Chain A
Amino acid sequence: MKAPATLQATPFALVFLLFLVLPLVLVGVVSFWRASDYELIPAFTLQNYVDVFNATTARTYLSTLKFCVLVWAVTLLLGFAVAYFLAFHVKSVGAQTLLFILCTVPFWTSNVIRMISWVPLLGRNGLVNQGLQALNIIDSPIEWLLFSDFSVVLAFVHLYTMFMIVPIFNSMMRIDRALIEAARDGGATGWQTVWNVVVPLSRTGIVIGSIFVITIVMGDFVTIGVMGGQQIASVGKIIQVQTSYLQFPMAAANAVILLAVTLMMIWGLTRLVDIRKEL
């Protein structure tokens, strides 16, 4: 006998309820509480939200959004290009698999080690600066290579382009090759084919990849911390500092706002493509 669909979905629904919905509700509840140095006091106060809205938070959100846009744009371009190459120019499945594994190589070491290893490369006495100086291209080391907006974006791109490549590649592999041939037969140039055929048909992958990248960047504080020399603020960092000083209600209020902002961005993206229909 076949169990009804609702029954089949129950176990997973319970997992979600227990580990996603319940914690989120708790975060929401705690965001209205008060706290002393050592205890949480159940209450209903909007003070946490009032405190969150200040110039620092606004500046921090702007800075996080800036990274979001920059990283999204770069990973999209790179990810699309790599996925395009893998999907249309590499013919054999074996070679595709091999190249895919190559793309995952950066993930074989820990996130933090990967980030720290940028220091000897980009630092004041790093490989890049020494190389440029040896070639007499620059006289004194370039300071903005490390602990700057540039290095933060670089690290993000290095880390998260993969999240763009995979879904876009997946969408591209489902494109009927006959459509491309038809475009060519119809006299479209290479660029026209890409723009008018491949891009629209890969948009599901693009949107999914974008959701990955945007949510990760919005919540990240480790990369921004390490690559920004801890001198660049991020919303995640503020939340982390507040939790480590046991200011859970403030942290919860911040988390609720961050969640709302991120959800709005995702909602906006899903308005562009109905992911459920396309999958």
Chain B
Amino acid sequence: MNDHPDSNAAPKLARRTLLKGAAAAGGALAFPFVHAQEKITLRYLGTAVNQDKAIAEKFKADTGIEIQYIPVTTDDVTKRAVTAPNSFDLIDTEYFSLKKILPTGNLLGIDTKRIKNADKITPLFTKGEVGGKKVGDQGTAPKKVMYVASPTAKDFAKEPTQFMTLIPTVYNADTLGIRPDLIKRPIESWKELLNPEFKGKTAILNIPSIGIMDAAMVVEAMGIYKYPDKGNMTKKEIDLTIKTLIEAKKAGQFRALWKDFNESVNLMASGEVVIQSMWSPAVTAVRTKGIACTFQPLKEGYRAWAAGFGVPKTVSGKKADAVYEFINWFLDGWAGAYLNRQGYYSAVLETAKAKMEAYEWAYWMEGKAATQDIKSPNGDLLAKAGSVRDGGSYETRMGGIACWNAIMDENAYMVQKWNEFVAA
């Protein structure tokens, strides 16, 4: 509905006027009856990182529908989806959590016929391709869990169908963050994380399912072992990976483990740590403090993650319509451009491009040098004119995916072993 010419003027109008206008515009809108209703509020369950105030405000200005954010941790999103499916109307969760959520029957497959831009969703999700080339699919690659045969199906469909489990919102590829000013030499491989040169100055992520994959990247890079699937290890492989971690820990390799986004920023900014597992926005956060920090591309590739919107089975009627309207709105470009400017990637690139300036697109997506200063959506300076984004273009970065965040079949065993590592 953003195509409607009124939508650009919408934020300036009072809501009442907007509703009248919207009602008058009638047939031009996808779901006009939603607007006739007094006040619909959607409870949006997800992690705080994705829940931007500006997005909720813009959506409300455009449609009159209120978004109420419920920010919890990644693990808690899954926990609530499994244990309390009627506590939210819309879920924003990672693809790897689907293996736990879908079998409960708490999610409904999303009808792609009702999603305007469904066929424009990047082939990374639908086929596992970037720029026509296959990328690594170890772990829970989205294409493996993207489709279900019917809205109420409890297992995944192997082939594309009309029903999607989640509609992708944001995704990115993670790698190591480094302090180039303190390391003073090029870093090219994951194995540097356990290099004794950085003894007492490294950190790894203390979220077992993700931390173990970072560790696996290191183990492979060190040439100790080559995993058939890092995202689904056997007990033996888990033992080997944890053993490597424990040895490093006992030798004093790690300064700390971190679990919270802010902890990682703190460790890096204070110089306690010079090389660690890191997330892209955390690197940005360190940089906005004026401290050199690089999201270092490595030759073994990236560990990717992706999140998407799911619809719980408990929503129906007008609420369900509003949920669909929000998802449609989200894919329509404004939100996508907003996310791209934060360093994430959006699901439908084409619509996001239309809402970005050409120089922004060139910097964020094409890996070209910035022709003018690059600013974040809220106006902070992120990169000076002339600088190039870490990891280069979309195709170079996302094309370099080695594996995806995952939940293993041996998850319980893995968690137990991870606890051993923490206690060692």
A9→B353 CA distance, assembly (Å): 67
Residue A124 CB within 8 A of the other chain: yes
Specify the chain B residue showing the minimal Cβ separation from A230: B257
Q: Could you tell me which residues of chain B, from 371 to 424, have a CB within 8 Å of some CB in chain A?
A: 407, 411-412, 415-416, 418-420, 422-423
Q: Nearest residue in B to A242 (C-beta to C-beta)? A: B415
Known: A120-B270, A143-B200. A231 touches B78 (CB 8 A): no
Chain B interface size band reads: 35 or more
Most buried by A among B73, B101, B259, B272: B272
Q: Are A56 and B104 closer than 8 Å at their CB atoms?
A: no
Check B272–A123 contact: CB distance below 8 A.
yes
Contact B259 A225 (CB under 8 A): yes
Which among A97-105, A156-164, A243-251 touches the partner chain? A243-251
B21 on the interface (CB 8 Å rule)? no
Q: When A56-B423, A229-B255, A230-B258 are in contact, do A125 and B200 touch as well, CB less than 8 Å? A: no
Residue of A at shortest CB range from B105? A38
Q: Is the CB of A245 within 8 A of B415?
A: yes
Q: A63-B423, A244-B75 are in contact. Are A119 and B104 (CB under 8 A)?
A: no
0/1 per residue, A138-182, Cβ < 8 Å to B? 000001001100000000000000000000000000000000000
A212 to B206, CA, bound (A): 29
B254 and A125 contact, CB distance less than 8 A: no
- Grouping DSSP codes into helix (H, G, I), strand (E, B) and loop, the B interface class, with mixed when no group exceeds half, is helix
Q: For the complex formed, measure the closest distance between the CB of A229 and the CB atoms of chain B, giving whole angstroms.
A: 3
Measured CB to CB, the nearest residue on chain B to A51 is B416
- Among A65-73, A233-241, A269-277, which stretch is in contact with chain B? A233-241
Closest chain-B Cβ to A51's Cβ sits at a distance in Å of 7
| Closest beta carbon of chain A to B235's beta carbon, Å | 14
Contact A37 B206, beta carbon cutoff 8 Å? no
For A278, list chain B residues within 8 Å (CB): none
Instruction: Please pick, from A230, A237, A242, A245, the residue contacting B256 in the complex, using a CB distance under 8 A.
Output: A230
A39: interface (CB < 8 Å): yes
Cα-based distance from A237 to B200 in the complex (angstroms): 23
Q: If the complex has contacts A124-B271, A146-B272, A246-B82, are A233 and B75 also in contact, measured as CB distance less than 8 A?
A: no
Docked complex: B260-297 residues within 8 A CB-CB of A = 263, 266, 270-272
Specify which of A233, A243, A244 lies most central, judged by the most chain B CB atoms within 10 Å of its CB: A244
Cβ of A237: which chain B residues have Cβ within 8 Å of it?
A: 422
Contact at A119–B270, with CB atoms within 8 Å?
A: yes
Complex contact B259–A124 (CB within 8 A): no
**Once the chains bind, are A231 and B257 in contact (CB under 8 Å)?**
yes
* A246→B422 contact, CB < 8 A: no
CB neighbours of B200 from chain A (8 A):
143
| Chain B residues with CB below 8 A from A184, complex form | none
Contact A119/B255 with A51-B416, A246-B79, A246-B100 known, Cβ cut-off 8 Å:
no
Could you name 30 residue pairs across A and B whose Cβ atoms are closer than 8 Å? A37-B100, A37-B103, A37-B411, A38-B101, A39-B103, A51-B416, A56-B416, A56-B419, A56-B423, A119-B272, A120-B270, A123-B270, A123-B272, A229-B203, A229-B255, A230-B258, A230-B259, A231-B249, A231-B254, A231-B422, A233-B422, A233-B423, A241-B208, A244-B73, A245-B209, A245-B411, A245-B412, A246-B79, A246-B82, A247-B415
Sorted nearest first, the 9 A-B pairs with minimum C-beta distance are A229-B256, A233-B423, A244-B75, A230-B257, A38-B100, A230-B206, A56-B420, A233-B422, A37-B100
Q: Besides the contacts A37-B411, A225-B259, what 6 more A-B pairs have beta carbons closer than 8 Å?
A: A56-B423, A123-B272, A124-B271, A147-B256, A147-B272, A232-B422
Binding site for B on A (CB under 8 A): 37-39, 51, 56, 59-60, 63, 116, 119-120, 123-126, 143, 146-147, 225-226, 229-233, 237-238, 241-247, 250
